[in-house]
Amino acid sequence: DAGVIQSPRHEVTEMGQEVTLRCKPISGHDYLFWYRQTMMRGLELLIYFNNNVPIDDSGMPEDRFSAKMPNASFSTLKIQPSEPRDSAVYFCASSPQRGAGTEAFFGQGTRLTVV
Amino acid sequence: AQRVTQPEKLLSVFKGAPVELKCNYSYSGSPELFWYVQYSRQRLQLLLRHISRESIKGFTADLNKGETSFHLKKPFAQEEDSAMYYCALIGAGNNRKLIWGLGTSLAVNP
């Protein structure tokens, strides 16, 4: 397995544009997480899914952010409209259904720059 | 409130020196504790978890429930240990939400 795959690796966009980040979790994993990483705040959980169903989206900063998981092998995080303060590295992670001690496997991240 | 605290944003040591990255947590119950590491230009990955009681790359971490700590230690730091280290916990039950510390950047100088 190639691990969690995210695309694009880098995205530069202008303020006001729509941005869509994509994630393919590891096959067979039931949980999918979206994180944002910044110097000031470290890692922030935005939302996570279990069996394609959003479980906790309390970390989504505002209505400009939305996430979907139409099937077990694909998820998107959309920002519309984007703002410069959204610039960060966005990580997707997945983990299997097993007990709480199971690790989360991370993608390589998407570095988003909004100018 | 559930919280993970890593008091040091940056830790700098010389090669061969002992290193300890501090992690304290606040959780009412029995959490599972983890250390994750992010090397430069690599993905975040699990370093070790307290339930495994293992040593990875010379690192160990002991869960101290009395002090609610899970400090990461290595007796002799190596330059390749330079990375960002995150402490995290998962609560008991089916909630899989990892609670993260803000991370400690470890720099091991030659």
Which residues in chain A have Cβ-Cβ distances shorter than 8 Å to B97? 45, 48, 56
Task: Give residue B92's pLDDT band: very low, low, confident or very high (50, 70, 90).
Answer: low
Over chain B, what is the mean pLDDT?
90
Mean pLDDT of the region A1-5: 85
With CA atoms as reference, report the closest residue to A111 among A23, A7, A25. Answer: A7
| Gyration radius (Cα) of chain B, Å | 13
Q: What is the pLDDT of residues B30-73, one digit of tens each?
A: 888 999 999 998 889 999 988 777 888 999 998 898 999 999 99
Locate the DSSP E strands across chain B.
3-5, 10-14, 19-21, 24-26, 32-38, 45-49, 60-61, 72-74, 83-90, 99-100, 104-109
pLDDT score at B90: 85
Q: Do B96 and A3 touch (CB under 8 A)?
A: no
> Residue B24 pLDDT more than 90?
yes
Q: What is the pLDDT of residues A20-53, one digit of tens each?
A: 999 999 999 999 999 999 988 888 899 999 999 9
Q: What is the pLDDT of residues B99-108, one digit of tens each?
A: 899 999 999 9
**A48 — contact with chain B (CB < 8 Å)?**
yes
pLDDT score at B88: 93
With CA atoms as reference, report the closest residue to B33 among B73, B70, B85. Answer: B70
Compute the distance between CA of residue A66 and CA of residue A42 in angstroms, rounded to an integer.
Answer: 21
Q: What is the pLDDT of residues A62-109, one digit of tens each?
A: 899 999 999 999 999 999 999 999 999 999 999 887 655 678 899 999
**A45 — contact with chain B (CB < 8 Å)?**
yes
Residue A28's identity, in one-letter code, is G
DSSP B81: G
Compute the distance between CA of residue B45 and CA of residue A60 in angstroms, rounded to an integer.
Answer: 23
